[in-house]
């Protein structure tokens, strides 16, 4: 019986080791609004783009992750109400940055175009998606539906993102992603991705290119080139080390 308090203390120490409080928070950054940072470890902070349900950024954030400053795009000639008056600036070594997603909000965008964020601009391509679906070899147009996140899993301090890919007939492919820091040689990240509801003959693909790390896949899915592909329900774990 005396071992029980010691065991609970060790478990508490492991899951209270997040480097920042709050360790999960929604912020705006220079490139986009509606981002969510997750401080997994002082050596590994990550960020998700919530409207597009995509893993966007991984970096060595230390104790604070970066700085909070006045938003760059607030100017006297900007008449529209900004999304937020402040922006979070990730600070530290960048390990990963999702390839091409910055097409939505390039550094050359002018202030008057900011209200059109995440809508169709004539000057910039907006058809990029990290998540894609195919029926056989035919691409299927899907909508992303963000469904929230959890900061406790099975009573432990862990992060889980939940969303779905909505097919043209309104069927939904449900997806959850659970990232975690992995200790060992270098800085490791594990992304447990669970997919349910893939119709027969369909495949779900996730673009993984960005940064210097090489992703490996275990479980149901596999990686070919820069894409992880999964053709049946189940779990795929993506891993990278920097």
For residue 62, give the H/E element and its range: none
Q: Which has more pLDDT, 3 or 145?
A: 145
Render pLDDT for 125-177 as a digit per residue (tens, 0 to 9).
Answer: 445 678 999 999 999 999 999 999 999 888 888 999 999 999 999 999 999 99
Among the residue ranges 75-79, 197-201, 210-214, 225-229, the one predicted with the least confidence is: 75-79
pTM for this entry: 0.80
193 within 8 A of 235, measured Cβ to Cβ: yes
Query: At residue 78, does pLDDT exceed 80?
Result: no
Cβ neighbours for 168, distance < 8 A, ≥ 6 positions apart: 140, 141, 142
DSSP state of 104: G
């Amino acid at each position: 019986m005396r071992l029980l308090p010691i065991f609970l203390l060790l478990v508490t120490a492991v899951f209270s080791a997040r480097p920042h409080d709050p360790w999960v928070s929604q912020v705006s950054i220079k490139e986009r609004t509606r981002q969510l940072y997750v401080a997994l470890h002082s050596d590994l902070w990550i960020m998700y783009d919530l409207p597009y349900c995509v893993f966007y950024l991984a970096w060595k954030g230390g104790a604070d992750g970066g700085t909070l400053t006045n938003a760059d795009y607030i100017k006297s000639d900007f008449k529209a109400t900004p999304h937020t008056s402040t922006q979070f600036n990730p600070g530290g070594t960048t390990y990963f940055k999702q390839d091409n997603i910055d097409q939505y909000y390039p550094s050359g965008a002018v202030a008057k175009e900011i209200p059109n964020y995440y809508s169709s601009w004539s000057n910039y391509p907006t058809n990029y998606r990290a998540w894609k679906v195919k029926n056989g070899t035919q691409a299927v147009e899907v909508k992303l539906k963000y469904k929230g996140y959890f900061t406790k899993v099975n009573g432990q301090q862990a992060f889980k993102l939940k969303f779905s890919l909505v097919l043209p007939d309104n069927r939904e492919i449900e997806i959850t992603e659970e990232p975690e820091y992995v200790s060992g040689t270098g800085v490791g990240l594990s992304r447990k991705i669970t997919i349910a509801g893939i119709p027969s003959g369909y495949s779900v693909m996730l673009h993984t290119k960005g940064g210097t790390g090489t992703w490996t896949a275990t479980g149901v899915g596999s990686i070919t080139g820069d894409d992880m592909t999964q053709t049946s329900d189940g779990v795929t774990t993506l891993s990278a080390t920097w």
